Amino acid sequence: MKTKIQACIIDDEQDGRDYIALLLENEFPEIQTAFQASSVEEAYIYLSKNTPDIIFLDVQLKDGTAFDLLSKFREVDAQIIFITAFENFAIQAIKNSAADYLLKPIRKMDFIIAVNKVLESIRKTKNASGISLNENKISLPTLQGFKLTSITDIIRCEADSSYTTFYLTDKTKIIVSKTLHEFEEQLSKYNFFRIHHKHLINLSHLKEYIKGKGGQVVMADQSVLDVSVRKKNDFLHKIENLE
């Protein structure tokens, strides 16, 4: 499963939005334009329910300014690139935690530099949690250093006190001195589900479910794992809604 970086473009001019979307499509295929807006109101409704990775934010909007929009939130957890026709807004943009700002008309090279800057920041954040943004890999610390492992190659993870064992498709095992809970938080967005206090499974490698009080699952490595009674309903609901 490949997860693209989500971008939101907020500009009162259709041509401006189209130009940014085209630049992203041509220069940064790893970024998906998830939403476009032309006003404070439209943007506020979207950002109240969604958290894009990058926001391209024009200072002057139909019904207010970018700063009016940002004042509605205590914090916006995204990299913000401000766009303005007036250089005097740059200081105010910087005070509002701008990752960068672009002057209109936007020059292609300035755009590429700004986006690469925020991508690097995003990568550092992702890597700090152990997830590699570009390749959907996870860094597993070992006594010798670390192993960079493709998330799709992980069949399941098993808890053993403060250790976690990773079972991979090539039949190897990696034992990591971290709790299963830490990996559950990281991997849940990649179609992993914790069926038991001991087991976190990759649903892409689920082969069979066997009915019972809690039931059991059969994984691609032929392991048979218990599903806890407490987790059963959530697990079955998750399976029913798999994409």
Question: Does the pTM of the predicted model rise above 0.95?
Answer: no
CATH architecture of 5-128: 3-Layer(aba) Sandwich (3.40)
Place of tokens 């998750």: 238
CB 90 within 8 A of CB 42: no
Asked whether the predicted pLDDT for residue 126 surpasses 90, the reply is no
Least confident of 61-65, 80-84, 98-102, 176-180: 98-102
| 183-189: average pLDDT | 86
pLDDT over 50 at 92, yes or no: yes
Q: Of residues 109 and 94, which shows the higher confidence score?
A: 109
- Topology of 137-240 in CATH? OB fold (Dihydrolipoamide Acetyltransferase, E2P) (2.40.50)
Taking only the tens place, the pLDDT of each residue in 95-105 is 556 788 898 99
Secondary structure class of 90 (helix, strand, coil) = helix
CA distances from 218 to 52, 147, 203 (A): 36, 27, 11
Which residues is 5 bridged to in the sheet? 31
Confidence class of residue 134 from pLDDT cuts 50, 70 and 90?
very low
Domain ranges of the chain: 5-128, 137-240
